[in-house]
Amino acid sequence: MEFSIKIGNPEKQRNDCLIVGVFENKKLSASAELIDVASGNAISAVIKAGDMSGDLAATLLMHQLPNVMAKRVLLVGLGKQSEFGVKQYLKAIRAAVKALPKVAKEAGFYLTELPVTGMTVQEKTAQIAEIILDATYQINALKSKKAEAIALKKVAIFVEKAQEAEAKTALAQGLAIAEGVRMAKDLGNLPGNVCTPTYLGKQAKQLSKDYGFKVEVLDKAQIEKLGMGAFLGVAQGSDEPMRLIVLQHQKGKKEQKPIALVGKGITFDTGGISLKPGSEMDEMKYDMCGAASVLGTFKAIGELDLPINAVGIIPTCDNMPSGKALKPGDIVTSMSGQTIEVLNTDAEGRLVLCDALTYAEKFEPSTVVDVATLTGACVIALGHHASAVYSSQDALAAELIAAGEAAHDRAWHMPLWDDYQPQLDSNFADMANIGGRAGGSITAACFLSRFTKKYDWAHLDIAGTAWKSGKAKGGTGRPVPLLTTFLIKRAANH
């Protein structure tokens, strides 16, 4: 799909389909008004006749209006003008995209003109591109009969002349984010027998070819040399070979310390010997979504050639039960030297991450953000709307949350108080890998915090946001928008 920023009156555009907004109570947006006047009140007439209510997300397709050069005009309802805000804006765009006629090869969006409190024209522009690519995403990789290809090939986003330059920058960023989101969705949606640690390693190598990243994919022997006893412990139950993937994007100033992104890459989580219950276990193929979001974010910053130094670190393996698997009570020695009593083999994410977090020290990062589908408890706490943010620095948490707000990929600050730390006490090792049912997402973060003393660190628990269950089952690509926006803002402030 080809996107562009355009300027000009709606009635003068040759296009398959223009999208304009109408509010409730017959109130037209500026562009709807222009078309209405040019066409001799064609829009007012359908509203008057009751064909278009203006209710939020209602749509009506109109054909060949007099004195309007576009073949079609799609009206999209915006609801009450007094209630029109961010949520309504996003919902109206999605409704318009869903209602685009299947035959339309081009579309022109006249929606950035709508005043939305708390949204800049950049955000409004980027969201149109991101929502179109999200709503037209197809899961086709493993279907022998592919879904019908989307006809839409060209999208024009109309803005005021004075906004052209900033809209163009925003569009480039929105498209890069959408590319990253697509990659993260694709990887998440692939089954565990295809998307293996080896496969993720190949994807990283492909990214490095495409964007010039430095890449290393370490195997078991190399991981043993590093002394990653916790990561090795998780991987030992599976016949599928483990990998440690390291990507480096070095486009910032030489002396600038990098930002490291660490992604949990469990390509299937059975729970190991502490086996999970059977229902919905298939969804544990998504337990590599942290890794997928790191790869997706690298794709986005590669597309943008972002002037920043970034490292991506992905510990990836399966968590399987077998005669070789870790058993409850086993004690492993992490790369940091700290020993861990594995009371539950299903708390494997923190075991692979703790060694990756220690490994991150080697890059002397200023900031490390890890991303993981870490706990079911996080889903209980926040549901499916917000990712959880934990951080040793409130300022870093605030920065990530602000990036999430701007990217419409929201996150919420959770406590990381020392009060929770004693839940991890063990009689036999330096710590246990679980802290009991109370505050399960928090104690998981507390566990990780013990491996992050050398840098500013934040942890994103994306267990509730990385994929959707039920009929619309599928990866969401979150938190690629949050992470990419965070890095774009960091690059701008350096």
Active site residues: 276, 350
Binding-site ranges for Zn ion (CB under 5 A): 266, 269, 287, 349
| Nearest by Cα to 187 from 288, 315, 301 | 288
Q: Which does 379 bind (CB under 5 to 8 A by kind): Mn ion, Zn ion, ligand BES, none?
A: ligand BES
Residues 88-127 touching ligand BES, rule: CB under 6 A, are: none
Give the number of C-alpha atoms closer than 13 A to the C-alpha of residue 480, restricted to the C-beta side: 35
Candidates 65-73, 122-130, 374-382, 449-457; binding stretch for ligand BES (CB under 6 A): 374-382
Distance CA 180, CA 188 (A): 12
Closest approach, Cβ 319 to Mn ion, in A, equals 6
Binding-site ranges for Mn ion (CB under 5 A): 269, 346, 348
Angstrom CA distances, 484 to 279, 294, 479, stand at 34, 10, 8
Closest approach, Cβ 286 to ligand BES, in A, equals 7
3-state helix, strand, coil in the chain (%, to 5): 40, 20, 40
User: Site for ligand BES (CB under 6 A): which residue of 36, 346, 399, 409?
Assistant: 346
- On whether the CB atoms of residues 6 and 108 are closer than 8 A, the answer is yes
Q: Which does 312 bind (CB under 5 to 8 A by kind): Mn ion, Zn ion, ligand BES, none?
A: none
User: Site for ligand BES (CB under 6 A): which residue of 223, 377, 388, 400?
Assistant: 377
Task: Give whichever of 287 and 303 is closer to ligand BES, judged by the CB atom.
Answer: 287
* String of contacts with ligand BES for each residue 463-482, x by CB under 6 A: x-------------------
Task: Give whichever of 284 and 396 is closer to ligand BES, judged by the CB atom.
Answer: 284
Q: Which does 101 bind (CB under 5 to 8 A by kind): Mn ion, ligand BES, Zn ion, none?
A: none
Helix or strand run (H / E) with residue 368: strand 367-372
Q: Which does 300 bind (CB under 5 to 8 A by kind): ligand BES, Zn ion, Mn ion, none?
A: none
Taking the CB of residue 109, how many other CB atoms lie within 10 A of it?
A: 29
Structure tokens at 61: 């397709």
Structure tokens at 116: 């939305």
Helix axes 164-189, 480-493, angle to 10 degrees: 140
Task: Give whichever of 179 and 346 is closer to Mn ion, judged by the CB atom.
Answer: 346
For every residue of 116-177, DSSP letters joined together read: -TT--HHHHHHHHHHHHHHHT----TT-SSPPPPP---EEEEE--GGGHHHHHHHHHHHHHH
User: Is residue 188 within the footprint of ligand BES (CB under 6 A)?
Assistant: no
- Binding-site ranges for ligand BES (CB under 6 A): 269, 287, 344, 346-349, 373-377, 379, 434, 440, 463
